[in-house]
């Protein structure tokens, strides 16, 4: 009798073991921005698609606004397995690879389309494996947008920034960028930026429109200079060991969810950047400063020495490939010009 009880217990354990293994795989996707930003929307789209493709097999938990981990802690958490997916700003990877610093070089890209062309090039895609030796796998880039300077004084020329304190992300390139114009950069986590601007710990910052609007930075800055001087984009990453250990069917479904959600995030970024800009302007809290071509050239000239400073760490090949992405528009432009000449002759 006793033996039968023991056997029943063992069987029950076995059965419950099977039931336990069938529990959904919990996937935590953590980020530091609002749900309505391109990255925020991409993360929610990933959840929607992944759970639809793998019903009962995965549960995706999205944590926006630094709720689970903020800057500084999130990468460590990924490597410890406390979170499975992140999409940090490309400025926050220098501990793991110096190559991504290419995205921080000021005035390297003409616009967000050039950034996209570089990201989709062979050189750009190679960057997904640039942190393999650190146990990190990259899946794709998500745009946020081009960055704008902000401060409590209007910034027309580099001389206007001299002596001001600017909040920057944890990037040595961005530090050099502000030092190049005689300003004082300070590395501060994203979750603390509003407070730092409001309390005067720093005088200014640099952000794309989506972050300015969703975090209300324009309410604590008197001026925003439409400088488009650099880019703030993301790489979606996972812990390579976790990813490689997933069952094949789960990996397949998640790969599809990853691809589609990244495309969705990029679509949001490209189509909503103007809306975020318009909302900031409509709020009338900060005045938007426009630069003349000559003023923009002054900023470019002052900041460009940063390229040479970091060329050794980044690699000339990557910088050249990024510059080529600016030029790729030229043939299309030339074609258009030729067409319009042809039409005007008719």
Residues that bind ligand SIN (CB under 6 A): 32-33, 89, 144, 169, 190, 207, 211, 232
Distances in whole angstroms, Cα of residue 283 to Cα of each of 76, 216, 226, 270, 273: 38, 10, 16, 22, 16
Q: Which helix (H) or strand (E) holds 185?
A: strand 184-187
Cβ 146 to ligand SIN, closest distance in Å?
13
Which of residues 32 and 85 has its CB atom nearest to ligand SIN in the complex? 32
C-alpha to C-alpha distance for 115 and 123, rounded to whole angstroms? 12
Which of residues 53 and 258 has its CB atom nearest to ligand SIN in the complex? 258
Crossing angle for the helix pair 248-283 and 112-120, to the nearest 10 degrees: 170
Q: Are 50 and 60 in contact (CB under 8 A)?
A: yes
Kind of pairing, strands 287-289 and 205-207? unpaired
C-alpha to C-alpha distance for 177 and 284, rounded to whole angstroms? 29
Q: Which residue is nearest to ligand SIN (CB)?
A: 190
Cβ 169 to ligand SIN, closest distance in Å?
4
Which of residues 158 and 230 has its CB atom nearest to ligand SIN in the complex? 230
Cβ 62 to ligand SIN, closest distance in Å?
14
**Phi then psi dihedrals of residue 328, to 5 deg:** -60, -25
Cβ 174 to ligand SIN, closest distance in Å?
10
Which of residues 156 and 190 has its CB atom nearest to ligand SIN in the complex? 190
Cβ 90 to ligand SIN, closest distance in Å?
10
Q: Are 83 and 77 in contact (CB under 8 A)?
A: yes
Residue 200: alpha-carbon gap to chain centroid? 26
| Residue 27, helix vs strand vs coil | strand
Q: Could you tell me which residues are beta bridge partners of residue 86?
A: 30, 237
The alpha carbons of the chain give a radius of gyration, in whole angstroms, of: 23
Which of residues 88 and 116 has its CB atom nearest to ligand SIN in the complex? 88
Cβ 106 to ligand SIN, closest distance in Å?
15
Which of residues 211 and 295 has its CB atom nearest to ligand SIN in the complex? 211
Which of residues 232 and 286 has its CB atom nearest to ligand SIN in the complex? 232
Which of residues 54 and 112 has its CB atom nearest to ligand SIN in the complex? 112
Cβ 161 to ligand SIN, closest distance in Å?
18
C-alpha to C-alpha distance for 16 and 13, rounded to whole angstroms? 5
Cβ 73 to ligand SIN, closest distance in Å?
13
Q: Interior CA angle at 80 toward 231 and 23, to 5°?
A: 105
C-alpha to C-alpha distance for 46 and 29, rounded to whole angstroms? 9
| Residue 146, helix vs strand vs coil | strand
């Amino acid at each position: 009798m006793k033996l039968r009880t023991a056997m029943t217990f063992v069987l029950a354990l076995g059965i419950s073991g099977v039931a336990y293994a069938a529990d959904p795989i919990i996937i935590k996707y953590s980020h530091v921005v609002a749900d309505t930003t391109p990255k925020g929307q991409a993360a929610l789209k990933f959840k929607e698609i992944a759970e639809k493709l793998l019903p009962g097999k995965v549960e995706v938990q999205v944590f926006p606004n630094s709720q689970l981990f903020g800057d500084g802690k999130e990468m460590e958490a990924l490597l410890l397995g406390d979170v499975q997916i992140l999409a940090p700003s490309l400025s926050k990877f220098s501990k793991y690879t110096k190559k991504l610093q290419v995205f921080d070089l000021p005035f390297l890209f003409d616009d967000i389309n050039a950034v996209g062309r570089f990201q989709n090039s062979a050189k750009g895609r190679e960057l997904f494996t640039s942190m393999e030796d650190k146990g990190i796998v990259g899946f794709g880039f998500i745009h946020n947008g081009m960055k704008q300077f902000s401060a409590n004084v209007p910034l027309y020329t580099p001389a206007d920034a001299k002596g001001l304190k600017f909040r920057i992300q944890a990037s040595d390139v961005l530090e050099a960028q502000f030092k190049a114009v005689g300003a004082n950069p300070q590395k501060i986590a994203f979750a603390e930026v509003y407070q730092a601007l409001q309390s005067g710990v720093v005088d200014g910052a640099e952000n794309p429109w989506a972050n300015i609007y969703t975090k209300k930075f324009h309410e604590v800055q008197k001026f925003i200079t439409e400088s488009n001087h650099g880019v703030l984009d993301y790489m979606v990453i996972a812990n390579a060991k976790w990813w490689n250990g997933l069952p094949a069917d789960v990996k397949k479904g998640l790969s599809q969810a990853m691809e589609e959600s990244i495309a969705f995030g990029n679509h949001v970024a490209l189509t909503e950047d103007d809306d975020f800009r318009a909302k900031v302007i409509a709020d009338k809290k900060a005045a938007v400063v426009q630069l003349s071509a000559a003023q923009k050239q002054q900023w470019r000239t002052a900041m460009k020495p940063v390229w040479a400073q970091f060329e050794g760490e980044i690699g000339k090949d990557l910088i050249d490939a990024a510059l080529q992405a600016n030029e790729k528009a030229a043939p299309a432009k030339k074609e258009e010009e030729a067409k319009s000449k042809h039409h005007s002759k008719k």
